[in-house]
């Protein structure tokens, strides 16, 4: 059964009727630009074919009920209760099951963003084929699908950027995860065969053709099966280090620092804070260099930038794990154009840019390397830049 069919079936089983519609939004792969978004920097993600589906229909009362194929019981609250449930302090557990906080948080944030709209009770059933905990933004896919559904059902008629901001507020303030806006923007603005260059300060965007298909290249995702969570301490500590570094430099955010500022930063900061700052500053430049390289020389020219990004995340930001490093090292040894971990780190997935004819050989080599190291078998699959949210039924 497809995820779309699973969402519809769950809805029918929950309510005894057909949904008013089924909406979906994609996960994403970040080509380059990690932990730069909450520093008001630059990112270059793309939406992927894997999607989350939300089957939904209005109710005759003011209750909001959400169900998911990956939860045993639905969660139901009054619309009026949402303001009492949220916000959730950063790093704290939501007062509802975390999976439901993504959907309920969107409803809460959407009501606040569109106070003139007529919000009514709603039933929502969620199913997804975006791998959870793999760094492919399954959370933003939930937020995007639910936001798209409620935007239509409640007639709020907000644009994709506004819906992305609602998704981010849900993640930050309902779930308590201190993430930036990259994931939601990538999901809401996805286009086939293109990445989305995002200025996370101004929210200006540009669709950047990747050229992967024309060059016979595939993006291989290597899901290490090591699960991560943005609501836990490691992510928060990295963000706090970035904020501390910006304060020491006397700037609004690390977006305002360049590589020329790094010697002064080294003199002002302890070693750990400096290395966190150095990652963000150099990663911002790598994003700009990648956009330029894709336009001027094509996708085979970005390999070294991907490799340098991984080294920076491994050594300066210290968010990689042994499984991610092995995935990257094996892919490069097998001839990948470039490879890096993707997502927030502490687990999740790596990506490798590989020739289409080498996908099977590369997948087998990575799987063997994991077995030889005594790691659990990775989930290896390909993705391509895909479209953003849509109504599927």
Residues 6+ apart with CB under 8 A from 296: none
Distances (CA, A) of 73 to 65, 68, 97: 10, 8, 10
Question: Which of 37, 123, 151, 183 is labelled catalytic?
Answer: 183
Q: Do 124 and 117 touch, CB atoms closer than 8 A?
A: no
Q: How far apart are CA 334 and CA 28, in angstroms?
A: 25
Q: Is 183 one of the catalytic residues?
A: yes
Give dist(CA 25, CA 28) in Å, integer: 10
Report the distance separating Cα 117 and Cα 143, nearest Å.
19
d(CA 147, CA 167): 7
Distance in angstroms (rounded) separating the CA atoms of residues 141 and 156: 19
Rg (C-alpha) for the chain, rounded Å, is 21
The Cα–Cα gap between 256 and 253 comes to 6
For residue 21, report the phi and psi dihedrals to the nearest 5 degrees. Answer: 180, 170
Q: Is 236 helix (H, G, I), strand (E, B) or coil?
A: helix
Question: 160-169 and 98-113 are packed helices; what angle lies between their axes, rounded to 10 degrees?
Answer: 130
Q: Which of 246, 224, 255 is nearest to 346 (CA)?
A: 224
As a whole number of angstroms, the distance between CA 119 and CA 108 comes to 10
384 CB contacts (<8 Å, ≥6 apart)? 48, 49, 192, 193, 212, 213, 218, 219
Residues 58 and 121 sit within 8 Å (Cβ to Cβ): yes
Active-site positions read 183
């Amino acid at each position: 059964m497809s995820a779309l069919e699973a969402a519809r079936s769950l809805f029918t089983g929950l309510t005894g009727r057909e949904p008013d519609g089924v909406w979906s939004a994609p996960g994403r792969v970040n080509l380059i630009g990690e932990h730069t978004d909450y520093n008001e920097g630059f990112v270059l993600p793309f939406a992927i074919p894997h999607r989350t589906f939300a089957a939904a229909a209005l109710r005759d009362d003011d209750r909001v009920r959400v169900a998911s194929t990956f939860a045993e019981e639905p969660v139901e609250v009054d619309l009026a209760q949402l303001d009492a449930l949220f916000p959730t302090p950063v790093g704290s557990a939501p007062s509802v099951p975390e999976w439901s906080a993504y959907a309920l948080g969107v409803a809460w944030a959407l009501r606040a963003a569109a106070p003139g709209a007529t919000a009514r009770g709603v039933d929502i059933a969620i199913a997804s084929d975006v791998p959870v905990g793999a760094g492919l933004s399954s959370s933003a896919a939930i937020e995007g699908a639910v936001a798209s559904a409620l935007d239509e059902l409640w007639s709020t008629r907000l644009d994709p950027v506004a819906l992305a901001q609602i998704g981010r507020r849900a993640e930050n303030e309902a779930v308590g995860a201190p993430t930036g806006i990259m994931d939601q923007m990538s999901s809401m603005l996805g286009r086939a065969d293109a990445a989305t260059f995002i200025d996370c300060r101004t929210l200006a965007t540009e669709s950047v053709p990747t050229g992967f298909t024309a060059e016979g290249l595939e993006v291989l995702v290597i899901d290490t099966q090591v699960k991560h969570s943005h609501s836990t301490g490691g992510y928060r500590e990295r963000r706090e280090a970035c904020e501390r570094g910006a304060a020491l430099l006397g700037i609004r955010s690390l977006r305002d620092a360049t590589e020329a500022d790094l010697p002064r930063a080294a003199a002002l900061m302890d070693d750990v804070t400096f290395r966190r700052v150095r990652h963000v500053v150099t990663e911002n430049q790598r994003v700009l260099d990648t956009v330029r390289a894709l336009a001027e020389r094509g996708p085979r020219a970005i390999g070294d930038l991907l490799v340098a990004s991984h080294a920076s995340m491994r050594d300066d930001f210290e968010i990689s794990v042994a499984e991610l490093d092995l995935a990257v090292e094996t892919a490069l040894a097998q001839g990948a154009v470039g490879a890096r971990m993707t997502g927030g780190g502490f687990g999740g997935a790596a990506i490798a840019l590989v020739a289409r004819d080498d996908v099977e050989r590369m997948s087998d080599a990575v799987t063997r390397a994991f077995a030889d190291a005594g790691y659990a078998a990775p989930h290896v699959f390909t993705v391509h830049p895909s479209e953003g949210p849509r109504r599927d039924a």
